[in-house]
Structure 1
Amino acid sequence: MLEKEKEALARRIAGEITLSSDPGKTMRKWREIFGVSQTELAEHLGVSSSVISDYEGGRRKSPGAGTIKKFVEALLKIDEARGGNVIRAFSRTIDVELPTSAILDIREFAVPITVEELIEAVKGEVVACEEAVNRVIYGYTVVDSIQAILEMSSEEFLKLYGWTTERALVFTKVSTGRSPMVAVRVQGLKPAVIVLHGVKKLDELAVKLAQRERIPLIVSRIEGEPELINSLRKLAERTEKEV
């Protein structure tokens, strides 16, 4: 199953951990992207969960090549047992960075950030599910909402999620916010947070759909699209410096 993509993903994970100035933090990032608990990972590795915790917290010396190999293999094996969702997500982004013209930018963070940090970066106002903004996200995708409606098929819409759904979908050229929220609801996969840019008059249905799906909905007040993308890229670059 997707052997080429699995091997490429394994190399990516191992490389990031090896080159990281904080390998434990990078290990935690990937464990969380795969949605694996410390206990489950420890069982697959045949160690106690405290060992995983010590690595992630920097209380153990940097893992050697053998430990990293076993760590990566365990994550991939667990993902395959669950249906290979993360591996398939990686396969959608392996060949080209921007698989459709509707995607203006797509990035994965080197370390997870909080939704509060995202709100600050986009000069955002939370209009739905403010109680859920304490979660963390692992990336973002900026989408031209008009191009998405005109061009994207259901299969292409899945490419918005990059490697993980625990990300922000940022829709530009939005007038009311209804269309992006309807599209997200119909597709089934849910992002961790949705940002709307260019809103002239927010539709009440958009807010109600966000509340029903329990997705924090944010309206960005940054003036222009280039400024929005630049601010998000700076946020991604900052996470790279933290690794």
Structure 2
Amino acid sequence: MLEKEKEALARRIAGEIALSSDPGKTMRKWREIFGISQTELAEHLGVSSSVISDYEGGRRKSPGAATIKKFVEALLEIDEKRGGNVIKAFSRTIGVELPTSAILDIREFAIPVTIAELVEAVKGEVMTRKDELERRIYGYTVVDSIKAILEMSSEEFLKLYGWTTERALVFTKVSTGRSPMIAVRVQGLKPAVVVVHGVKKLDELAVRLAEKEKIPLVVSHAENENELISGLRALVEKSERTA
């Protein structure tokens, strides 16, 4: 299944771990992207959970090529047994030109950040699911809501998620928040958090949809799009310094 895509993803993961200044943190990041627990990964590899924990916590020396290979193969094998959702998501990003006129910025974090950190970066106000602020996300996509909703096809919209839905979708030029939440609901895939910018009066339907879909909805009070994106990029830089 998707052999070329699987090979490309394996090279990406292995390369990130090998080149990382903190391989353990990078291993944890990818394990969490695949949604695999330390226990499940340890059982698949035939080691104790403490071994995985020690690598991720930096208590063991940096993994060698053989260890990285086994780690990557385990992630992919477990994902395939579950239906290959991560591999399929990654395959959608290969060789595809995104609708750049709608995308204002798209970045991945070197290490995951919490929704709470994202909220601070965008000068946000949390409207729903305040109990999920410690949830970790792996990237963000900032889109012009008018172009995204009016011009993008369903297939193009799905590509806003990159290789993981555990990210923030940030919509600009939003007046009430209703249209972005409707668009998110009908697409099937759900982001970890939705941020809306430019809201004059938040529509109650947007709030109800966010609650129904169990998605934290955040209203950004950044003065303009430049300030919004600058805050997000500063968060990327912070994650790179921490990595």
Identify the TM-score tier after normalising by the shorter chain: over 0.9
Paired AA for residue 119 in structure 1: V
Following superposition, the deviation at residue 98 of structure 1 comes to 3.6
Following superposition, the deviation at residue 69 of structure 1 comes to 0.4
1:198 matched to 2:198: yes
How do 1:49-64 residues align onto structure 2 when only pairs under 5 Å count? 49-64=49-64
Partners of 2:25 and 2:57 within 8 A in 1: yes
Moved more, 83-92 or 30-39: 83-92
Moved more, 98-107 or 221-230: 98-107
SS in 2 for 1:128: coil
TM-score, normalised with respect to structure 2:
0.95
- Separation in 1 of the partners of 2:96 and 2:232? 20
- Separation in 2 of the partners of 1:202 and 1:153? 26
Paired AA for residue 92 in structure 1: R
Q: Where does the alignment leave 5 or more consecutive residues of structure 2 unmatched? A: none
- Separation in 2 of the partners of 1:236 and 1:88? 25
How do 1:17-56 residues align onto structure 2 when only pairs under 5 Å count? 17-56=17-56
Aligned residues: 243
Partners of 1:98 and 1:104 within 8 A in 2: no
Identity percentage of aligned residues = 82
Partners of 1:99 and 1:159 within 8 A in 2: no
Partners of 2:98 and 2:156 within 8 A in 1: no
Paired AA for residue 192 in structure 1: A
Identify the residue that residue 83 of structure 1 maps to in structure 2: 83
Identify the residue that residue 147 of structure 2 maps to in structure 1: 147
Following superposition, the deviation at residue 37 of structure 1 comes to 0.8
SS in 1 for 2:127: strand
Q: Where does the alignment leave 5 or more consecutive residues of structure 1 unmatched? A: none
Deviation readout 1:143-166 (Å, 9 max, x if unpaired)? 111001111121211111111111
Moved more, 91-100 or 31-40: 91-100
Partners of 1:42 and 1:52 within 8 A in 2: yes
Partners of 2:17 and 2:68 within 8 A in 1: yes
How do 1:96-115 residues align onto structure 2 when only pairs under 5 Å count? 96=96, 98-115=98-115
Following superposition, the deviation at residue 32 of structure 1 comes to 0.1
- Separation in 1 of the partners of 2:10 and 2:99? 22
Partners of 1:98 and 1:105 within 8 A in 2: no
Moved more, 38-47 or 87-96: 87-96
- Separation in 2 of the partners of 1:170 and 1:158? 14
After TM superposition, the runs of 4+ consecutive aligned structure 1 residues lying more than 6 A away are none
Following superposition, the deviation at residue 190 of structure 1 comes to 1.2
TM-score, normalised with respect to structure 1:
0.95
